[in-house]
Amino acid sequence: MTLLQALAARPCGPPHVRITGIDDPVSRYARGEGLEVVRKRLAMMSEKFRIPVEFHGVPVYAPDVTRDMLDIRPGEALAVNFPLQLHHTADESVDLNNPRDGILRLVKSLSPKVVTLVEQESNTNTTPFFNRFIETLDYYLAIFESIDVTLPRNSKERINVEQHCLARDIVNIVACEGKERVERHELFGKWKSRLTMAGFRQCPLSSYVNSVIRSLLRCYSEHYTLVEKDGAMLLAWKNRNLISASAWH
């Protein structure tokens, strides 16, 4: 929404924006509507901000995405966003074909202007079970503490998030192995290594964006912190890093 607002306010007028959304084909049954929800919200924002937005939904598992599905057109400025999703794709520890790194190589071949990566700052991919259990306990304890500050426990929104998102993630991390375990988080250092090996270089972070995010966080709780480390923004609750965000080209 913030990006569309900024593009709509350009002095030279808003550009035509095309967005391709990729989600697994069972999402609409598991979570309700899936890509159709995104389509409706983008249509509302397009009307509200008076910016032409074209949406193309691709219901396919990430490792199965091909260049042809993306309908890349000459002359367009391409941006690729991975929002808390890339960790769902298996890596070399699960699949010898290493589809996780394969997706990054595919994206690099598209020559995007920018690639943004947002991931949980947790180490549960190849960690032995006991260490994975302790890591999950520590990470989600911080998550639940932070939710306590912003949403009452009887909030329908909170109950929905806890039951259908957080609980599902925790069960998958702790109770599943092999290909059944799709919640395979990695720390930013590992993501940085993967992106670098795929041929990407980090983009410098904007001090303006950092200041805006910090001001927003203060509206929620003083226990949220935002620090810049190793070229990434790290969102933390007290002393526990929760999310890493970085930009690449």
- Whole-number Å distance between alpha carbons of 185 and 63: 17
- Whole-number Å distance between alpha carbons of 218 and 125: 32
Q: Which residue has the tokens 């620090």?
A: 227
Q: How many CA atoms lie within 13 A of 32 on its CB side?
A: 3
Question: Which residues form the domain of 43?
Answer: 1-60
Same domain, yes or no: 112 and 22: no
Q: Which residue has the tokens 């569309």?
A: 4
Same domain, yes or no: 54 and 142: no
Residue 74 lies in a domain: no
Residues in the chain: 249
Residue 196 lies in a domain: yes
Q: How many CA atoms lie within 13 A of 229 on its CB side?
A: 13
Q: 22, 60 in Cβ contact below 8 A?
A: yes
Same domain, yes or no: 143 and 32: no
pTM of the complete model: 0.91
Question: What is the residue-level pLDDT of the chain in tens, covering all 249 positions?
Answer: 888 999 999 999 999 999 999 988 876 655 556 788 899 999 999 999 999 999 999 999 888 999 999 999 999 999 999 999 999 999 999 999 999 999 999 999 999 999 999 999 999 999 999 999 999 999 999 999 999 988 888 999 899 889 888 999 999 999 999 999 999 999 999 999 999 999 999 998 888 888 888 888 888 888 999 999 999 999 999 989 999 999 999
Residue 70 lies in a domain: no
Number of domains present in the structure of the chain: 2
Same domain, yes or no: 108 and 219: yes
- Whole-number Å distance between alpha carbons of 239 and 123: 16
Element (H, E) at 43: helix 35-49
Same domain, yes or no: 198 and 122: yes
Residue 38 lies in a domain: yes
